[in-house]
Amino acid sequence: MNLKIEKTRSTSLIDEFHWQDVKSVAVVGEAMLEQRAHACLEESSADHSATVYGGDAINFAIYLKRLVGDAQQVCFISALGDSDSSRELLTSWRQEGLDCSGVPLLSEQATGRYQIHLDQNGERSFRYQRAGSAASQYLSRLPSGWSEPYDAIYLTGVTLAILDDQGREQLMAELVRFVERQGRLIFDSNFRPELWRNHQHAMQWMQQAKQMACLNLLTLEDESALHGRDLVADAILPKGCEGVIKCGQAPAHVQADGLCVAVSSVLAVVQDTTAAGDSFNAGYLAARFTGAGGEAAARCGHILAASVISQFGAIIPVAMMPALKY
């Protein structure tokens, strides 16, 4: 199904919009239990809760909430299996300050799991056990109107990928209504080919999300893989929207405030690249919420991402969070 997406915001409304006006953000996605497959990862878990977790949406939500504090409400929209480990996760997230009222425990489904494998350069690969997970089942059947309390919604390509087609149609229909009400959609394509039927299927749904988003936070490597050819960063972002193309250790390309600039990354000793993009996104958006320009926001994203990849695991201890100047 291709939903008809019309530009409903007037130029004056776009001009009048300020990120500082956003007071509530819903992060929609899946959190999974993390199974560690590296000795250093086991050693690094001492400062974490007993139950270790990760996933692109929850990684972003945790880092964003740590940065914004009480200035914005960050609500996680997901579901978990009904188990002791799930209750530990909810306790941990609430301690981080997340609103978890949108995370039910479902007795008939399980929480997804993943195992990280790291190579000698800190690059990660994953093995997943997520088929029929609680999150995929719940997010495929979200009720109409669930988006109404929020000023902004954060969505990723992974979240789209774990839904069935009916669930994707329902989600997109809700997001169309959300955008028509002047809600702000933030999208990270985060392409994972193994989760999609084929590349064309992925592009169909991703393009709809990109067209609706007022902020696209994309990755050059993912976009090139999605389109099956090497792309130039400057040619990826939809015209008229704010966006960032993350390029690993190369400068990020930022389209914001009427400018297009390249922002250099921060040197880091790479231990584990898990959550690099998620943490960058959180640093960028947190800075924008304070009124920082796109270039300054990208620098904040780079600083946080450098700290995260310098340590093992998706979520670093609070004590290791860098100080960011907005």
- The catalytic residues are 278
Distance CA(285)–CA(277), nearest Å, equals 12
Residue type, 108: E
Nearest 5°: phi and psi at 160?
-60, -40
Cβ(253)–Cβ(241) below 8 Å = no
- For the CA atoms of 94, 299, 308, 21, the dihedral, rounded to the nearest 10 degrees, stands at 10
| Beta strands 53-54 and 184-188, pairing class | unpaired
Contacts of 120 (CB under 8 A, 6+ apart): none
User: Residue length, the chain?
Assistant: 326
Q: How far is CA 108 from CA 35, 111, 129, 138, in A?
A: 22, 10, 16, 11
* β-bridge mates for residue 54, sequence order: 32
Contacts of 221 (CB under 8 A, 6+ apart): 247, 248
Token pair listed for 277: 């993009």
Strand segments (E) across 235-284: 242-247, 250-256, 259-263
* β-bridge mates for residue 128, sequence order: 114
* β-bridge mates for residue 33, sequence order: 53, 113
Could you count the other beta carbons within 10 Å of the beta carbon of residue 81? 18
